Structure 1
Amino acid sequence: MTIRTDSEPVDEPNSLAEVEAALRWLATRKDGELLRFFREAVKEPASESATVLRSLVAPTESLIGESAESRVFAVWGLIVDEIGSAGSSRHRYTLMAAFRVPPAPGGTVWKVTLSDRFRQLVLLPGIFGDPPPTTATPMHQAWRRALKALAARLSQKLVSLEEPDWRPYISIGRAAAEVLDERVAWRARPASKGAQPVFAERMLVTAVMRRRTVWRRITERDIVACEDGVDDYVVQARNGWTHTPEDLLVTALWACRVVGAYPGDRGVARLRFRRTLRKGERYAFVSEALDERLDEGHRWVDVDVDHHGIAPGGLTIQLTFDPDCLPEACWWYAEQLEFERRCQPPDGDPRLLPIEDGFVRHTFFDGCHPRESYGIAFKWSPS
């Protein structure tokens, strides 16, 4: 970034127009993975990539003492993280397609051209209409709006991030790069005989806290049927409480309806789909769990994989804390016993998650295996 002096005008490399142009240029590349262009921009100042991507990579110069590769991971991690925070499902999937963020629909890889990647989104049920569109026109329309919104968020972050703020994005970018390299080869471990016969390509869990209680938990699921005849899904809302959840109510929000509950445990319910699925068919639906008791101090938000697994990069958990009741620390856990997830990692551990404006989010870039648990835990101050 150019430093302003009293006699010089400000030359701001991360202006909104420059950031938007850089993102559009990246999305239309056909000749290689996107990290290649970031590497060129950082390591070869005279390259075309350096000129076009200056607005994105120049702010990482504040990472004094870090390698060029760390700067590459930092800017890629920031982009991936902001894509994951897009509030609209249409915008999020369109951005994932534009920048080839896994998982791609169908468990494959993203195609070469932007238009072909947008056509892949037709495989996502319900996201772009039901029945799905026959052309990529809705995707191109969503892309124009999503690009402007992403550029605006990135421009603000690129101006404000200091050296310590960049470091979590290095880990995010490195993990995302590993998913790009290894996703096609990943296979979930075998599921148990009683596992639900679906595989989740994507699961987004949004938890809203009131005081120390997970008051609302909204879960968006994009699944693939593993056998013929799948027409329902059993939800189990587990948020790290100790009381019997008699006041926990599960409701259907989209593309499903509640057809059965389990006596004595309102945290479990059966959701019926709008249609019966064949093996390999995809379906998306949304449910919510509401806890009316606010006197319980929840310790984590957990996803128990009781089906055939979740694709690499497919699970994201995000929490909004009560501004008057913030935890001392947050961290993500994977495949740990209950007593292990309670233990706060030491300072500097990559599992620790920053709490920004009462908000925390983590994407599990490794695949999630059947019969395992994944989540975000938090530590409250002593009462």
Structure 2
Amino acid sequence: MSIIEGILADIRLPAFARANQLFDTACLDEEAIRRKIIGISENESIFGTIKPGARVSITAGSRGITHMDVILRELVAQLKKRGARPYIVACMGSHGGNASGQKKILQNLGITEEQTGAQIISSDELIVVGHTSDGRSVYADKFAAESDAVIVVNRVKPHTAFRAPVESGLQKMLAIGLGKQKGADACHIRGFEGMYENVRDFSHVIVSHLPVAFGLGIIENAYGEVFDCVALAGPDIPVEEPKLLEMARALMPKLLFDDIDVLVVGEMGKDISGSGMDTNIIGRYPTSGMIGWPRIGKIVTLDLTDASEGHAHGMGFANFISRKLFDKIDMDKTYTNCLTNKVDAPAKIPPVMPNDLCAIKAAIKTCRTTDPEEIRAVLIKNTHDLERIYISKALAAEAASNAGVVLTGSAHDIGFSRNGDVPMSLWER
């Protein structure tokens, strides 16, 4: 027994009951998505600028978006029907570190040439396409800039570090995704306080100087499924995207408890959120002035997704992490992100516990109470999947009066492995 295990030996965990959080279930399945893309392709105000023989670049980012491969494959198919020559360009700012790293991220997300039917180009080559009104250079991927038409595809959702009419979405993909490391650096130059203005100004230059045919905004429901795909003609993106953001904000999931002592997050990762754990869910932000909800005393993060490729930006939001997560960290990739966005707190390493059990015990020991009957604890797989959760007995007692929470099992002890880790199969039961 290690010193840490000895200190934590007397800490008892509460029993946990399985529960479902209820959100709007409306979504598009694969066939509905295909029909949606076909309908967009038949709209001449959107697809009309795509001519036979045109070289068409399509953006692909680093986020794990449900059915993204289906969306891209159908886009490619419809472009080919028009006689165009589509290809996909890796567009993810500084994520992935370099061209090969970005292509690997796409592969991990299932975005491959075989799946999409199009060549995938990941390059570090940039060109200056124009300048902002105050003289700053605006960069774009060379292969996108040299295409006859650009289609920008991205999920539209609230950002994890700032509030504005436009946050994460199409304009951010144009300004930062297409701009790679230099674009990300330039947009973050004033920190997140100036992010909206930079994204707005840089994307305006790109739309003005590149043949942006249209943007495809993906809206998700609370279950991470595709709620809608909305096409906006290039010139309409600045005006119409704020409406998509408000739609996305209304559909976002959340933890349906006001006061939580310990939140255990099974995994974090860049494929889940740009901040590893969605700050809009955990109520912790890297910038001042943003008020978080719900109140969470301690956060424990247990693992890093394989798709993150060691990129652990966001671990600093946790109070404790497991050795399992720590051993997967790639410092270069993680620190590249914080040096680019000028926010270092999310990259700080929390206390590292020997295993999941010790990490959870450490959170309880440093909480307002260690009584397993009183501790208000929640276990979630990640901040993207909030339907099935586990809640401690103290919260289970409140579930009966919470219209958005349904208990689906009785309280029981967590089945830790021999190594003291929580099995991911917990979320499959």
TM range (shorter): under 0.3
Give the number of the structure with larger relative contact order, counting CA–CA contacts within 8 Å between residues 6 or more apart. 2
TM-score, normalised on structure 1? 0.27
Q: Which has the higher strand share?
A: 1
TM-score, normalised on structure 2? 0.25
